[in-house]
Amino acid sequence: MIYDIKIYGNDCLRSVAEPVTEINSEIIETLNNMVETMRNIRGVGLAAPQVGINKRMFVIEVEEGDVRIVINPEFLEMSEEKESNEEGCLSVPGIYKPVKRSLTIKIKYQNEKGEEIIEEASELLGRAFQHEYDHLDGVLFVDKVSPVAKRMITKKLQMLKKEANRG
Ligand code: CO
């Protein structure tokens, strides 16, 4: 099943998501649908709040066929060294701006089998982990762009918001 993506201006993108307490069949089905939805729109990541589900989980597919199912993630380390690179978000269509992120991170999470995974990541994957994690705290990449970039996108964001409130 393909979910509708919630767009900027929708309240569900701004709340702090709840931990997943039990990885049951409903959660697994939701995660499978999220993967299907992400692939359908050729995204590299999708967090549950983006489809209106207030749970701490997301899916990532930075390289085709290499899907990560990420439940209750926690950063163990985030490098002080940062790097700026362009980002976009399925919930903020048409806007791409550079965001500063830690160069490397170490993250702990559960996969769909409930196994604990600890992983180090950098570059595109490390960035995807940080971007998707932010969604679980109601944070969007446009919150983190430079003041100059922010000024450039203010109008577009207002238009997205208007549309979200109408729909
Ligand atoms: Co996003």
Q: Is residue 39 part of a domain?
A: yes
Q: Is residue 167 part of a domain?
A: no
SS3 35: helix
Question: Cα–chain-centroid distance for residue 136?
Answer: 7
Q: Is residue 24 part of a domain?
A: yes
Instruction: Compute the distance from residue 50 Cα to the ligand 1 centre, in Å.
Output: 8
Q: Is residue 149 part of a domain?
A: no
Above 90 in pLDDT, residue 167?
no
Region 44-72 average pLDDT:
97
Q: Is residue 97 part of a domain?
A: no
pLDDT tens-digit series, residues 108-157: 999 999 999 999 999 999 999 999 999 999 999 999 999 999 999 999 99
| Residue burial 4-35, b: 16+ Cβ < 10 Å; e: rest | ebbbbbbebbeeebeebeebeeebeebbebbb
Q: Is residue 5 part of a domain?
A: no
State the DSSP code for 17. Answer: P
Query: What's the mean per-residue pLDDT of the chain?
Result: 96
Instruction: Compute the distance from residue 46 Cα to the ligand 1 centre, in Å.
Output: 6
Q: How many domains does the chain have?
A: 1
Give the strand order in the sheet containing 104-110. 45-47, 57-60, 68-78, 104-110, 116-122
pLDDT tens-digit series, residues 75-86: 999 999 999 999
State the DSSP code for 30. Answer: H
115 flagged as catalytic? no
Q: Is residue 150 part of a domain?
A: no
Residue 15's domain is classified under what CATH number?
3.90.45.10
pLDDT tens-digit series, residues 90-109: 999 999 999 999 999 999 99
Instruction: Compute the distance from residue 89 Cα to the ligand 1 centre, in Å.
Output: 4
Q: Is residue 123 part of a domain?
A: yes
pTM for the predicted model, two decimal places: 0.96
The residue segments making up the domain with residue 64 are 11-82+102-139
